[in-house]
Structure 1
């Protein structure tokens, strides 16, 4: 009996990989997902879905429950600036809830999710072999520290060309009712705290910082937030990720394509990670459906250009103390500019 040839093997069963698998199935392609971790997978994540991410999920037939998000608020000391989303609401969604919704839809479409760890890979004229499977294409969606990216020689120096120090993220949930429908971003000297409503009785608290330390240590830079959650019950363990910046020298190596964090990552500062993963996943599926994988790198650059530019610019300012102190005051003094930037982020 001839060995089965799949259209696509997806390595990594997080949101980016599942979005590719689901997109492939909806396009009539035979896909299979390799994910070594069993069940629903959690990850350090701000969990605020921008309106563009909500629309991308809707296009895939996925509608995870969560809490409506109407905009973004920046805080620094007594200063505060708010910008509403113009094109519809975003949504605060627990990472586990999002993963479960995507995984359920993938399985409903008949896509196998196999407990396989891919540690070797070989490319041939018309197919790829990995994890005991054979496919026309392989999609690497295995995260920030992608093993497949290393295997195909697409890993770049994460610090090359950057004057900013490495940054890490930590996240925990608390049993507290949201006091606003906005993602609240509080700025400190070397870190930012993000409070995201993820349900009627729960918030997620994430800290991004260039200084390493435990969650309690990081919260010391945000005394008002620390006081607000001091009596609240934690409803999840602390999860961390980093260093956040990861470079890829390209997104395509023969029949292997990178998506999500594996394709290269700047920072979580603007909260666009999931929206970008979903939009580039759709581009990847389009290229595979047309049997034109080489087009994907250009499509990825085009789709991610605005997000990368905004994130790099804000991160550049964040890395300069004199400028960083002026970011929130600038949003207060120029509310229309802040609203325009948020509108760009929300697309």
Structure 2
């Protein structure tokens, strides 16, 4: 019998498989998409995420990130990370690094999509495979979460994200967050001549229309497009609980607030590790508390900032406030790193 079956071969799923294999458990990942998997992603990894990946033996190539800079018009505020740098990494590069590490440890990755899940006293069955435990890391719209009746209440606030790459030399070592009354644009350095630009908003508009809300940024990027636009949303997702008998939810499947603070990869790896550690110890009941502890700071700070960002009247005050209170801005950034 398989020890750990993983639904989803994104960062959370592959991190769970790598952790399980490192503990001597047999892990199998079920993923419908071919390697490497690309998706809408800000592509900036916070220092804690870089450290968590390194602990798994995964060190993808990327562009060092010094900190976070907020920009609105001529005003800006910036804060350096303390200690190690973050990393700007193309999603495909990150996925390849995690996949190769998993396969190198003996993890099997099989094509398919986990939908129907059947649980027994000592096993769980899905996709014709039987395992002791199932880690559901199948994303924002998790079919496993929905199928088990674990979907939480739907948020009235619906935010959407889109990302595109541009062939231009990074002009800053920071992740730049440009603010407008209608949303934000996140500029992440990815290499010597490449940046990724993600836009977030409550409005479902074409990427070019979203970018036009930031005329200075749009002018720098004009004619430099590289590759397609990828989108995701709505972003806010909740689970009633991240644990149901022999199934544990990890990464976005366990709940997601918003991409505003850029902690997606760090939280994916951290929650995946906690889920595997709980089942390896035979104590899955410990996982909800561990998940809450690992994600609490992110959920509180992101929800607070999101409350400001979604109202034009308060969104315009975010950068001036950060500019006038740099010590407070540094504290907030370092709390999330």
Instruction: Flag whether TM exceeds 0.5 (same fold).
Output: yes
Instruction: Report the CA distance between 1:231 and its aligned residue.
Output: 2.9
Name which of 203, 211, 231 aligns with 1:211: 203
Name which of 217, 221, 224 aligns with 1:225: 217
| Unpaired segments ≥5 residues, structure 1 | none
Alignment-derived partner of residue 296 in structure 2: 305
Question: Do residues 247 (structure 1) and 243 (structure 2) align?
Answer: no
Question: Do residues 284 (structure 1) and 280 (structure 2) align?
Answer: no
For residues 45-89 of structure 1, what are the alpha-carbon distances to aligned partners after superposition, in whole Å with 9 as ceiling and x for unaligned? 000000000000000000000000001110011101110011210
After TM superposition, the structure 1 = structure 2 runs for residues 121-270 of structure 1, keeping only pairs within 5 Å, are 121-159=117-155, 165-232=157-224, 234-270=225-261
Contact kept in structure 1, 2:166 and 2:226, CA below 8 Å: yes
Between Structure 1 and Structure 2, how many residues are aligned? 337
After TM superposition, the structure 1 = structure 2 runs for residues 83-98 of structure 1, keeping only pairs within 5 Å, are 83-98=79-94
Work out the CA distance in 2 between the residues paired with 1:221 and 1:320.
Answer: 15
Instruction: Report the CA distance between 1:130 and its aligned residue.
Output: 0.4
| Unpaired segments ≥5 residues, structure 2 | none
Instruction: Report the CA distance between 1:250 and its aligned residue.
Output: 0.5
Contact kept in structure 1, 2:236 and 2:257, CA below 8 Å: yes
Name which of 60, 85, 94 aligns with 1:64: 60
RMSD: 0.9
Contact kept in structure 1, 2:202 and 2:310, CA below 8 Å: no
Name which of 266, 271, 275 aligns with 1:275: 266
TM-score in terms of structure 1 length? 0.96
Alignment-derived partner of residue 7 in structure 2: 11
Work out the CA distance in 1 between the residues paired with 2:244 and 2:291.
Answer: 14
Q: Secondary structure at the match of 1:237?
A: strand
Instruction: Report the CA distance between 1:312 and its aligned residue.
Output: 0.5
Work out the CA distance in 2 between the residues paired with 1:71 and 1:40.
Answer: 28
Q: Moved runs in structure 1, 4+ residues, more than 4 A?
A: none
For residues 127-169 of structure 1, what are the alpha-carbon distances to aligned partners after superposition, in whole Å with 9 as ceiling and x for unaligned? 000000000100100000000001111011221xx5xx31000
TM-score in terms of structure 2 length? 0.99
Q: Secondary structure at the match of 1:236?
A: strand
Instruction: Report the CA distance between 1:321 and its aligned residue.
Output: 2.8
Q: Secondary structure at the match of 1:323?
A: helix
Q: Secondary structure at the match of 2:318?
A: helix
Question: Do residues 22 (structure 1) and 15 (structure 2) align?
Answer: no
Contact kept in structure 1, 2:164 and 2:228, CA below 8 Å: yes
Alignment-derived partner of residue 50 in structure 1: 46
Q: Secondary structure at the match of 1:324?
A: helix
Name which of 57, 67, 71 aligns with 1:75: 71
